[in-house]
Chain A
Amino acid sequence: MTAPTHEDRENAKETLAYIRRTMESASTFTAVSGWGLVAVGAVGLLAAWLAWSGNRDADLRVWIPAAVVSVVLGIAFNVAKARRTEVPIWSGAIRRLAWVMTPTLAVGALLTFAVAAEGAWALLPGTWLAIYGAGVIAGAEFSVRAIRWMGVMFLALGAVALFRPEFGLELLAAGFGGVHVVIGLDIVFRHGG
């Protein structure tokens, strides 16, 4: 009895890696939590309302806490869904998503302070929407298609907001509120929660 050839061994290794990769992406495919997006959308709407009543579109006292609460809610809902669907929380797709979203959010924060320091408040809504959209599109490579559309919508809203800053607050409400809620509900109904 001869042992498997070197080639057999390499093939077997590669095949096992392929199976593992496929199983990982399949199970994390719908790991993004629809209810999480709905909750983040609700925070967005609340923040837009607070900014509107305070008469300052890009009021950092409103939007920075809103962003922090949204990130926390997003993580909490996704962890809960991963537990419920028995997917490893720190699986391949989630790890890649974190690698995409963390630098995106960091750049967003940096630009926010730089733009605010220059006093160009009117540019903030468009900056936030466009950067978030770009990050979501990149992250969507590893998830359901609805997420990619969400990113495209944010990018489009951001583009409009950059050149028509007078609609900044409306566009912020439409994006961080409306788009999150709509896409979130779509995922809830199509991919279970």
Chain B
Amino acid sequence: MAGSIVTEDLDRLVHERIRLGIVSALAAEDGMSFADLKHLLKTTDGNLSVHARKLEEAGYIKVSKGFEDRKPRTEYRLTARGRRALESYLEQMEAILSEARDALERS
């Protein structure tokens, strides 16, 4: 496996940093608000909503809009599909590391 192919195989949807952050955060804490995610990932409103929309379109996360104290509250949840995507991404990362370790041992 060449270096370039290693990274080309990755799920582009999850690979991007903010999107990976959203999926990881939701895997740990199911149901986070827009404001909490923004604070956690230290990003801007625009950036977060663009990336969240991409994940929503892919069916990785589910968005629900409601009200809290008469203020709109957007809540995000990870779907089963999103969880699987994160799991296979993690496996790919671990595979890269273990292949590298094998190569080290062979050399």
Chain A residues in contact with chain B, CB under 8 A? Answer: 1-5, 7-9, 11-13, 15-16, 18-19, 22-27, 29-30, 144-145, 190
B85 an interface residue at 8 Å Cβ cutoff?
no
Residues of B within 8 A of A30 (CB): 29
Chain B CB within 10 Å — which of A5, A16, A27, A190 has the most? Answer: A5
Per-residue contact bits, chain B 81-107, to A (CB 8 Å; 1 contact, 0 not): 000001000100110110110110000
Among A11, A13, A19, A22, the residue within 8 A (CB) of B40 is: A22
A8-B96, A12-B97, A18-B17 given as contacts; is B40 within 8 A of A26 (CB)? Answer: yes
**Residue of B with least CB distance to A2:** B2
Majority-rule SS of A interface residues: helix
Asked if B102 and A24 make an inter-chain contact with CB atoms under 8 angstroms apart, the answer reads no
B13 an interface residue at 8 Å Cβ cutoff?
no
B47 an interface residue at 8 Å Cβ cutoff?
no
B20 an interface residue at 8 Å Cβ cutoff?
yes
Interface size on B, residues (CB 8 A): 31
**Residue of A with least CB distance to B2:** A2
Asked if A9 and B96 make an inter-chain contact with CB atoms under 8 angstroms apart, the answer reads yes
Among A12, A19, A145, the residue within 8 A (CB) of B39 is: A145
A76–B18 alpha-carbon span in the complex (Å) = 35
Asked if A22 and B41 make an inter-chain contact with CB atoms under 8 angstroms apart, the answer reads yes
The tally of CB-CB contacts under 8 A between chains A and B is 81
Majority-rule SS of B interface residues: helix
Residues of A within 8 A of B63 (CB): none
Residues of A within 8 A of B20 (CB): 15, 18-19, 22
Residues of A within 8 A of B99 (CB): 3-4
Smallest CB separation, A186 vs chain B (Å): 10
Smallest CB separation, B67 vs chain A (Å): 13
Smallest CB separation, B69 vs chain A (Å): 9
Smallest CB separation, B41 vs chain A (Å): 7
Asked if A26 and B96 make an inter-chain contact with CB atoms under 8 angstroms apart, the answer reads no
Smallest CB separation, B85 vs chain A (Å): 13
A48–B76 alpha-carbon span in the complex (Å) = 42
Residues of A within 8 A of B27 (CB): 23
Residues of A within 8 A of B86 (CB): 19
Interface residue ranges of B41-60 to A (CB < 8 Å)? 41
